[in-house]
Amino acid sequence: MNLKFRAKDYLSDDSFESAEYEYIGNQKEGWEIKRNGSTYLQLGPGYIPLKTISCGVCSTDIDRRFLPFPLPQIIGHEVLAEGLEENQGKQFVVEINDTFEARGDKNPDVFCKEGIPTHSPERRVLGIDRLPGGFGPYILAPVHAAINLEGVSSKAAVLMEPFAAALQAIIASPPKSGDHVAVLGPRRLGSLVLAALSSYRKTNGSNFRITAITRHDHLVKLAKEMGADEIVDLRITNVENLENKFDIIYDTTSTTSGFDTALRIAKREVHLKTTNGQTMAGLEHLTELVVDELSILPYTIDNTNFHWQKEERTNKTIFVFDGVSEKIKAELKQKFQVFEGDVKTGETILASSTFASQMPRFDLVIVSKPEEIGLTIRPNPNHENSLVRPRGAILVDSTSTANWPTEFRLVGDFFKQGKEIHSSRCGDFHLAISLLKDNPEITKSLETNLISHRFPSDKLEEAYLKAKDPSSVKVVVDFQ
């Protein structure tokens, strides 16, 4: 098959430029993607061509230039598409991770074998990392990432990717009975987190309160429609009056000020759902923290048992930075295989024969200095590998936080009080579809209230600018 078309590439200066693309190949033999006549990307077998119907504009698209992936690129990952050739007439939503498992590769890597295929360093990401996205008229989707849309309307389907991502936050940080949780910044992703909380509560018969925290009139009504029990308006309520009020804060603001607020008002946990690629509360690489779905917890012996609820594994290997107290080191050595040193030592150990037959990451990393958190997440500017395994945890020796510099005082106090930071990224489309089918009123609310603006594909730049406007909620680009 040969598909030739023009599309708008996104550039590092936050602008768009027209380019000519060509997809040449087939599912069995692989594909060559050409851009302006030159080879842009070579893909192996396992991809099917789809024709874009519509694609939503996400906060990630707006902040794309800050992410550590090459540009230019056709961005856009909230895709509703229709099949070509033998799939003609079928509609699909597309999971964004291009992995061994998604392509149907018979030789999976260790990340697939560990049950975390979306964290493979070899993956590409639709519309984010190399693989051309949904702001073009055609995409190439890994065969198992293209999910046949049945039982959910097309209007709601274009929201499937962000709804699944929102639901992942609830799966990773589920409210307990009697909790009072809050969504900070209930706009695009935040509104979907509210909807996910509401549908999760109903489907599971749970008992917790949901508050939306905003400072915009048009989001008050939307938050109520999406399932919030109450609204806090920050224009008339001081943050100081909310300190330690909410058991879990789901921070969807993607701002440094929002993250600071989340740290102040959380009683137990902040779930960081999206970031802007910049330093927040003095901490570096929080975007990558979300990409790797890592957690940051105060050190306790109980927290050394941390793993995601649905994972059946035990922590075995721990890396401890030199400055961690000798008491903690001694305690850990009674239960784990412990490695000590600085960041370079950690990288050397992971590259050694000790980790040759297993995942080249530590299960946990213990830090004593705030800068060691960022170094754990991205120890080397030449690659995107963390010291700690995806969905693992960084534990903070909180006996040291009193000596942290002023710019880290807020986050240092947060950990000293025993509070936690968790994160999540993409979600399970099948689970999201099932939940929407179980909660038709939520589906109807998504269709009716969330999409605030639609633009034809030849008005992509206008759609992108409107998505930046605080008055918009979800902007969608239509190709048909």
Q: Given 377, 408, 439, which residue is the final one in a domain? A: 408
Q: What is the pLDDT of residue 295?
A: 98
Is the model's pLDDT at 125 over the cut of 90? yes
- Pair (308, 435) in one structural domain: no
Q: Give the Å distances, CA to CA, from 465 to 14, 73, 460, 468.
A: 10, 18, 9, 5
Per-residue pLDDT band for 35 (boundaries 50, 70, 90) equals very high
The CA distance from 158 to 99, in Å, is 22
List of residues 6+ apart from 364 with CB closer than 8 A: 304, 306, 315, 317, 318, 319, 336, 388, 392, 393, 394, 395
The model's pLDDT over 380-393, given as tens digits with 9 standing for 90+, comes to 999 889 999 999 99
Angle, CA of 431, 292 and 65, to the nearest 5°: 100
- Pair (42, 153) in one structural domain: yes
Number of folded domains that form the chain = 2
Is the model's pLDDT at 150 over the cut of 80? no
Per the domain annotation, does 12 fall within a domain? Answer: yes
Look up the CATH number of the domain holding residue 153.
Answer: 3.90.180.10
The model's pLDDT over 253-292, given as tens digits with 9 standing for 90+, comes to 988 999 999 999 999 999 999 877 789 999 999 999 999 9
Q: Average pLDDT, whole number, for the chain?
A: 94
Per-residue pLDDT band for 436 (boundaries 50, 70, 90) equals confident
Q: Give the Å distances, CA to CA, from 434 to 117, 200, 356.
A: 22, 11, 40
Closest CA to 226 of 202, 253, 199, 207: 199
Q: What is the pLDDT of residue 477?
A: 97
Please tell me whether residue 306 adopts helix, strand or coil conformation: coil
Per the domain annotation, does 115 fall within a domain? Answer: yes
Q: What is the pLDDT of residue 234?
A: 92
What average pLDDT score do residues 427-446 get? 88
- Pair (456, 345) in one structural domain: no
What average pLDDT score do residues 193-199 get? 95
Per the domain annotation, does 67 fall within a domain? Answer: yes
Query: How many other C-beta atoms are found inside a 10 Å radius of the C-beta of residue 180?
Result: 16
What average pLDDT score do residues 286-310 get? 94
Per the domain annotation, does 274 fall within a domain? Answer: no
Per-residue pLDDT band for 232 (boundaries 50, 70, 90) equals very high
- Pair (458, 398) in one structural domain: no
Per-residue pLDDT band for 470 (boundaries 50, 70, 90) equals confident
- What does residue 405 show for φ and ψ, rounded to 5 degrees? -60, 160
What average pLDDT score do residues 241-261 get? 95
List beta partners, residue 35: 21, 38
- Pair (393, 440) in one structural domain: no
Per the domain annotation, does 198 fall within a domain? Answer: no
Look up the CATH number of the domain holding residue 364.
Answer: 3.40.50
**Position 195: which residue type?**
A
Is the model's pLDDT at 113 over the cut of 90? no
The CA distance from 303 to 305, in Å, is 5
**Position 121: which residue type?**
P
Is the model's pLDDT at 107 over the cut of 90? no
Question: Which of 192-201, 304-313, 368-377 shows the lowest per-residue confidence on average (mean pLDDT)?
Answer: 304-313
Q: What is the pLDDT of residue 447?
A: 86
Q: What is the pLDDT of residue 271?
A: 98
Per-residue pLDDT band for 94 (boundaries 50, 70, 90) equals very high
Q: What is the pLDDT of residue 8?
A: 98
Q: State which residues form the domain around 459.
A: 2-158+428-478
Per the domain annotation, does 123 fall within a domain? Answer: yes
The CA distance from 257 to 238, in Å, is 14
Closest CA to 238 of 210, 270, 261, 256: 261
- Pair (301, 348) in one structural domain: yes
List of residues 6+ apart from 145 with CB closer than 8 A: 94, 95, 96, 97, 98, 102, 126
Per-residue pLDDT band for 343 (boundaries 50, 70, 90) equals very high
- Pair (129, 11) in one structural domain: yes
Is the model's pLDDT at 166 over the cut of 90? yes
Q: Given 358, 376, 408, which residue is the final one in a domain? A: 408
Is the model's pLDDT at 63 over the cut of 90? no
- Pair (358, 317) in one structural domain: yes
Q: What is the pLDDT of residue 181?
A: 98
The CA distance from 394 to 295, in Å, is 6
Is the model's pLDDT at 443 over the cut of 90? no
- Pair (393, 436) in one structural domain: no
Q: Which residue has the tokens 């915009």?
A: 216
Q: What is the pLDDT of residue 89?
A: 87
Per the domain annotation, does 333 fall within a domain? Answer: yes
Per-residue pLDDT band for 480 (boundaries 50, 70, 90) equals confident
- Pair (23, 142) in one structural domain: yes
Q: What is the pLDDT of residue 216?
A: 86
Q: What is the pLDDT of residue 108?
A: 87
Per the domain annotation, does 262 fall within a domain? Answer: no
- Pair (367, 467) in one structural domain: no
- Pair (404, 456) in one structural domain: no
